[in-house]
Amino acid sequence: MTQEKQMQLIRLICLIIPIIILGYITLTTNHKQNSGTLWRVDITGYDPRDLLHGRYIRYQIDWAKYGAVTATRGSTKTLCLNKAPEGGIEPVVSLDTADNCASTINAGKTAKNWNYQGRRYQIPEKYANALDKAFADRKNKFSIDIRVHKNKLYVGDLHMNGKAVKYNYRNIQNQYIASLGAKFAPQEFTLAVKNLRPYQVTDSQACVAYEIDWAKHGLSFDMSEQTPDLCLTHSKDGRVIAAAAQNGTQNCSARLRSGAWNSTWNYPFETFCRNNRHGKFLLDQYKKDPTAFAARIETNQQENLYVKELIIDGTPFNDAFNIFYSK
């Protein structure tokens, strides 16, 4: 076998091994999630957050609803689940450690133990606002499927009023979309930025972190008070004006919701990254003139903000790059 063929074989093996490992992990996880008795339990303490890798519902299981279950740090016991006399998949729970439990879940502080409060369930970004409204609507009941495998808890589907949410996203959105500010059509705005911070990720990738400079657009509010919704308008000369929105505001070109989501206007920082020559061009332009940067954002009907691209001297980044290298 020639050296070239040996190298090709090694590359092929290096590609196949991660696929085999990933497949094994996926199959093992699916087996655990589908093994054991199926239970459905209500959840409480809804706390939507937008984490770095997607949108999640943060919740805890309402064990106390299904039995006399109390637990404090340091005194948590093994949880016992049994079928209710009337049947169904809602359990009767206790701290009984006898052998007659249909399922037992170990005590502890990890995500697979019953007393863990920091659970999360990922939801698609496009339906996040409608689900946020649904969670705030007290007439809705949310529950989650669990299975127990070797005394550890594994989470399955999320349910709203007895229906699996993953099959019902569109209906939930249609139900709550009317209250999500649909009177504002999607628009684009170019905004000033501040506190640019360049950094090198790898030899071939560079990034710039920055904040939107709302003060340059006229916004002033007390950070110690609750963050207001934001009203965006255009002045007669085309400048973007930002102000705290008032109830019943009718003259906003766009309105942005406050809150804990990354897509809201008060998110503290954004990042813009590029590879290879684009990354070098990004750093060179920053060194040349940091004040030349601006951000182009898009607002949507659900009153959220999304950064589309960076602007350099009034030109979108990719166009500025092409112009520079065409000289």
Half-sphere exposure in the Cβ direction for 156 (13 Å, CA): 22
Per-residue pLDDT, 105: 87
The 10s digit of each residue's pLDDT in 282-291 is 999 999 999 9
Report pTM. 0.49
| Cα-to-chain-centroid distance, residue 246 | 28
Per-residue pLDDT, 54: 46
Per-residue pLDDT, 30: 55
Per-residue pLDDT, 148: 87
Q: Which string of b and e fits 38-51 if b means at least 16 CB within 10 Å?
A: ebbbbbeeeebebe
Taking each helix axis as running N to C, give the angle between helix 317-326 and helix 276-288, from 0 to 180 degrees, rounded to the nearest 10: 90
Distance CA(49)–CA(51), nearest Å, equals 6
Q: Which residue's structure tokens are 């091994």? A: 17
What is the residue extent of each domain of the chain?
34-179, 187-326
H/E segment holding residue 206: strand 205-212
Residues of the chain with pLDDT under 50: 48-54, 180-181
Sign of CA pseudo-dihedral 306, 309, 314, 315: negative
The 10s digit of each residue's pLDDT in 277-326 is 899 999 999 999 999 999 999 887 778 888 888 999 999 999 999 888 77
